[in-house]
């Protein structure tokens, strides 16, 4: 029997900023406009599922 796979850690705003190569402030503006990769609040912090960020990015690439 194999052990369950460990999920990838959630990304912080800075991680998404680095991945997408956009300023952190841009991510906050996108969130206010209901655009950009989905994020969830954990306490007062935003966290992103890396798989969701990659999927969002792929969808944007196809739409262009």
Q: Which residue has the higher pLDDT, 64 or 30?
A: 30
Give Cα separations from 12 to 1, 27, 44, 63 (angstroms).
33, 11, 12, 26
Contact 55, 16 (CB under 8 A): no
Tokens standing for residue 28: 């906050």
User: Is residue 6 in a domain?
Assistant: no
User: Is residue 23 in a domain?
Assistant: yes
User: Is residue 22 in a domain?
Assistant: yes
Q: Sorting pLDDT into bands at 50, 70 and 90, what band is 7?
A: confident
What is the Cβ-side half-sphere exposure of residue 8, based on CA atoms within 13 angstroms?
12
Q: Furthest-apart CA pair in the chain: how many Å?
A: 46
Number of domain units in the chain: 1
The pLDDT assigned to 61 comes to 82
User: Is residue 3 in a domain?
Assistant: no
User: Is residue 32 in a domain?
Assistant: yes
| Residues of the domain holding 53 | 13-63
Per-residue pLDDT of 21-60, as tens digits, reads: 999 999 999 999 999 999 999 999 999 999 999 999 999 9
Q: Which residue has the higher pLDDT, 54 or 1?
A: 54
């Amino acid at each position: 029997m194999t052990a369950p796979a460990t999920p990838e850690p959630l990304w912080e705003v800075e991680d998404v900023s680095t991945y997408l190569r956009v300023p952190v402030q841009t991510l906050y503006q996108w969130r206010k406009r209901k655009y950009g990769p989905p994020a969830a609040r954990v306490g007062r912090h935003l966290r992103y599922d890396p798989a969701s960020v990659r999927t969002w990015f792929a969808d944007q690439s196809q739409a262009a």
